[in-house]
């Protein structure tokens, strides 16, 4: 099916962005190799900074916020700028092409994660009559593991709408971002959040026997991995997993490059983008073969919860989602995969202007209503 006309200008901008990023990266590499460039040839990552620059036993004085900002390296500053820009863009997207979320009761919680940073979990509580506990779903946002968060306007609005329309509590996990925190930090935070949700269910007004997980893009990877971690460790009963445009194989073996060729985006740009995501999230390239990093590569998918997987026609990750659905079915898991035609990876954002996005929302809500069975 042809790309929906809504995406025409966005495609032009995105294609230019990808080419500009590739060109900028190539220029940076050439500059690093050029023998007459100014300053030291020592890469920023190799310069002695922070703890590595202090003698053993030395204690650095506490810095003020401006001093901390000034102490950031160029890469950290660039990441901070990129995240600020992404948040501003997301705010604009909600106001121009998204749908605001309804008012719901929200509670915030900090969950301890043994051996790793604690994680914030926000509960969106649906309107209820009486004291009967409600089903809940543990939710993971998208953003290539390096941007995004539960405070992003489109993410917050989507959780609010799904909470009310499906009448389930949404437990949104504000997992740590890479590269400041790399795999498996996010996996351990997800597992701790699930353990906490089950253990705290009574005080939260949640039914611990009706729990699901869901995630989009990178969050879909975490949600899928969590079901495997849970099966291998705690074995909490999970009713459903809802995976939206998930990345489930960080080796790139299941990328469907035909999706991007159809948009006039060359293979090397698509592969470059996935490699960039994997390098940011993983401490070592070989980690991409571990089942908790790439759930599709798990030696067994038996015993996992029923799955609803949503993919987009013009998204190279459609190959990941479809291969994962096939692997689950081969292992005897109740799993379905639906490909939305004529649309792209970020379709769920556009509920204010795109019929397919509204249908996407309705289908996610229908999947979450399984928790009421």
Residues with catalytic annotation? Answer: 217, 315, 345
Here the tokens at position 174 are 């504000």
Helix intervals (H) in 74-206: 74-97, 153-166, 185-199, 201-204
- The rounded distance, in Å, linking the Cα atoms of 363 and 347 is 13
Here the tokens at position 157 are 């609005």
- What's the order of all strands across the beta sheet hosting 169-174? 105-113, 116-125, 169-174, 134-140, 206-216, 241-244, 307-314, 335-344
Report the DSSP beta bridge partners of residue 309: 243, 337
Are 342 and 373 spatial neighbours (Cβ–Cβ below 8 Å)? Answer: no
User: Which segments within the chain are labelled E, that is strand?
Assistant: 105-113, 116-125, 134-140, 169-174, 206-216, 241-244, 307-314, 335-344
Q: CB neighbours (10 Å) of residue 58? A: 8
């Amino acid at each position: 099916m042809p790309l929906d006309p809504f995406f025409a200008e966005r495609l032009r901008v995105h294609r230019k962005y990808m080419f500009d990023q590739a060109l900028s990266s190539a220029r940076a590499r050439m500059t690093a190799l050029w023998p007459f460039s100014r300053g030291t040839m020592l890469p920023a990552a190799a310069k002695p900074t922070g703890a590595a620059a202090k003698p053993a036993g030395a204690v650095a004085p506490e810095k003020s916020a401006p001093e901390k900002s000034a102490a950031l390296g160029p890469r950290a500053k660039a990441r901070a700028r990129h995240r600020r820009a992404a948040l501003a863009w997301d705010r604009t997207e909600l106001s121009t092409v998204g749908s605001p979320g309804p008012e719901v009761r929200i509670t915030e919680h900090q969950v301890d994660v043994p051996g790793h940073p604690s994680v914030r979990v926000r509960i969106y509580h649906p309107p209820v009559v009486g004291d009967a506990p409600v089903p809940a779903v543990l939710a993971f946002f998208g953003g290539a593991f390096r941007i995004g968060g539960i405070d992003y306007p489109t993410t917050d609005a989507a959780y609010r709408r799904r909470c009310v329309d499906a009448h389930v509590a949404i437990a949104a996990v504000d997992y740590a971002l890479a590269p400041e925190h790399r795999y498996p930090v996010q996996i351990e935070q997800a597992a701790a959040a699930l353990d906490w949700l089950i253990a705290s269910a009574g005080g939260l007004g949640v039914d611990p026997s009706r729990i699901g997980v869901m995630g989009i893009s990178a969050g879909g990877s975490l949600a899928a991995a969590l079901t495997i971690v849970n099966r291998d460790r705690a074995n909490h009963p999970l009713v459903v997993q809802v995976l939206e445009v998930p990345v489930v194989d960080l080796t790139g073996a299941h990328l469907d490059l035909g999706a991007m060729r159809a948009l006039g985006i060359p293979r090397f740009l698509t592969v470059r983008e996935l490699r960039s995501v994997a390098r940011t999230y993983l401490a070592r390239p070989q980690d991409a073969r571990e089942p908790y990093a790439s759930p599709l590569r798990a030696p067994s998918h038996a015993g996992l919860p029923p799955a609803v997987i949503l993919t987009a026609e013009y998204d190279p990750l459609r190959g990941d989602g479809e291969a994962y659905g096939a692997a689950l079915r081969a292992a005897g898991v109740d799993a379905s995969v639906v490909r939305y035609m004529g649309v792209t990876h970020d379709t769920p954002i556009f509920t204010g202007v795109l019929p397919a996005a509204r249908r996407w929302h309705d289908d996610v809500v229908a999947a979450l209503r399984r928790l009421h069975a």
